[in-house]
Structure formats: structure tokens, C-alpha cells
Amino acid sequence: MSTTAQDPFSLEGKRVLVTGASSGIGRQIAISCAQAGAQLAITGRSRERLEATAAELPGQGHTQIVADLTQSADMERVVAEAGVLNGVAHAAGISRLVPFRMLNQTHLDDIFASNTYAPMLLTKGLLAKKRIAPSGSVLWIASIASHVGPVASATYAASKAALLGAMRSLGREISKQGIRVNCIAPGYVRTPLLDGLQGSGGNMGDLLELAPLGLGEPEDVANATVFYLSDASRWITRTYFVLDGGLTIPMDIYA
């Protein structure tokens, strides 16, 4: 038996679907999973950026599916074309800074459609079509926003918090199939999404000073994702992992 086959942290022989793979955390998750030996099905809304991600993937047999997961037809196509999967990493999502007093139905619908409904409905579709193999792993990317409630982020925080509850319930329902489901709750990571928040008036300076290890990189989240998709995490389900450089610890202490 090869060393790779004995390595519980390897993704060799596994097929993994990564959403939001055209940018930021999702892009790096796809690259890191391929580096760990996985065959990838990647999806995102931008064909050009998705192709750029695909060009970075080592290995063979990867597929690209251009799709907007807020559209039911696109979601059904992803389910049909993804193949039989050993892992799913749902990293697609959006964020907009909107003070609570300015909330409206359109804003709520947009954020929840991308951040909550899409991962839940996509996972439902994959399970219904038996696209997730026994002993597979589902991972939703949540956020520490659900814990700390940043200013002008009520909808975003709520949309990510909803994933934690849904994950706990789903984990019980699919445990008989040996499929596990977990969330990662990243802190502030150097991505285009964070740059956009900064540019729209989000002042992250004070928050980042609270993080002993500072700003994270996409690779930090991707490495944790590889662990949750690998057999090394085979006894972990219905939980979430906070990955924030120590940011939320002082918030919990001094709240």
C-alpha cells in the first residue's frame, strides 16, 4: 500500500465539489484540495475567473460548471454535472454593509439567497440524487460574524448563523449514511470580499488589532477545509471550527 493511501490527510481518490471557486477562499480551497490529490468539480459565476482557477489545479479530470447558485436551473445543472462526490465545500457567498435601520426585503433576500438558501438547497439536491457517497463530507463556510455581530452586518451575520443551526440538524439526518457535515467560521481573511468591505467604509483596523495572529490568508481556511474533507476528520460531525487568529477570544472575555 502506498504512503499516500495510508495518509488520512490525503484527498487522493476523492472527488470534491467547491462552490465560489472563482475567487478568494473558494479559489484557494479548490487549489489546495487538488494539491492534496482530489479531483475537482468547481463552480462559480464568472467563466473567465473559473477558467483561471482551473488553470492552477494540478492533476487530471477536473470539471468546471459556470453557475449562479441563486438560480434553480443553474443549481440543478450543478447537481447533474458534478458527478458522485466524496466531499462538498460550499464557499460561495456575498456580503454588503447595510445598517439595520436601512434594511429592506431586497437586501435580505439577496444575502440569504446566496449565503443560506444556496448551500442548503444545493446540499439537498445532491443528497436527493445520491451524489454524495457514503462516508462523504459536507463543509459549509460560515463566519465569525455570526458570533460577534459586526456593525452594519446584521443580515450577513444572520445568514451565516443560520448555517450553524441547519448543519446541526442535517448532521443527524444523514449520519446513517456515514456522511458528516460541519462548518468553518473564518475571521478576517485577505480576499477581494474583505477589500470590498474596506472600500465601502468598513474599518477593520480596530478589530484586527484584537487578533494576536493578525489577518488570515485564504490558505489558512483551505488547509482546514482539506482536513474536514479528508478521512482524518471521519469522527467529526455537527460542529463548527472557529478560525480567526484568536480574534474572538477577547471579545468573549470582555463582552
Output the nine-digit C-alpha cell for 132: 454524495
Please give the radius of gyration of the chain, using alpha carbons only, rounded to the nearest integer.
18
Q: In angstroms, rounded to a whole number, what is the distance separating the alpha carbons of residues 43 and 26?
A: 9
* Secondary structure, 3-state, the chain: CCHHHHCCCCCCCCEEEEECCCCHHHHHHHHHHHHCCCEEEEEECCHHHHHHHHHCCCCCCCEEEECCCCCHHHHHHHHHHCCCEEEEEECCCCCCCCCHHHCCHHHHHHHHHHHHHHHHHHHHHHHHCCCEEEEEEEEEECCCHHHHCCCCCHHHHHHHHHHHHHHHHHHHHCHHHCCEEEEEEECCECCHHHHHHHHCCCCCHHHHHCCCCCCECHHHHHHHHHHHHCHHHCCCCCCEEEECCCCHHHHHHHC
Structure-block grid coordinates of residue 245: 487568529
Distance from C-alpha of 221 to C-alpha of 15, rounded to nearest angstrom: 19
CA distance 255 to 239: 23
Respond yes or no: is residue 228 known to be catalytic. no
Q: Which of 117, 156, 188, 240 is catalytic?
A: 156
Query: Could you give the residue numbers annotated as active site?
Result: 156
